[in-house]
Amino acid sequence: MIGTHECGRSKRRSARASRIEIFVLAAALVAVVAAAACTVDVESDPPATMTVKAHQGDTAWSLAKAHPVDGLSTAQTAAMIIRINDVVASRLPAGQSIRVPAQADQTVYAMR
């Protein structure tokens, strides 16, 4: 009788684990779909850019934080900076000219 009780208990645990696993997988799927829906295709519609000189210690991340793009995370903007400048590493050599997203007020100024 003790063996039967333990066997029933283990089935309930595995059923509970399955529900948790399904919930976690569903949540991950929702997150992936939401992230894909929120991405901006910078290849087909690249934002306006401006050129800046990299300073000692500058990274794609630090430039992305200084030049944010509406609708993109800092990570996405950093990836865009790396891609449009065709650089391999995130750390940028001091003095290198780097194209970064232009902010709205800078774009209007450049167009005048």
Render pLDDT for 60-102 as a digit per residue (tens, 0 to 9): 999 999 999 988 999 999 999 999 998 887 788 899 999 999 8
Same domain for 54 and 99?
Answer: yes
State if pTM tops 0.85. no
Same domain for 7 and 27?
Answer: yes
Range of the domain at 2: 1-38
Same domain for 78 and 58?
Answer: yes
The structure tokens 């210690």 sit at 57
Burial class (CB in 10 A: 0-12, 13-18, 19+), 56: exposed
Same domain for 17 and 61?
Answer: no
Q: What share of the chain is helix, strand, coil (3-state, %, to 5)?
A: 55, 10, 30
Same domain for 105 and 70?
Answer: yes
93 within some domain: yes
Which residues on neighbouring strands pair with residue 23, listed in sequence order? none
29 within some domain: yes
* 78: nearest Cα among 100, 107, 56, 111: 100
44 within some domain: no
Same domain for 28 and 74?
Answer: no
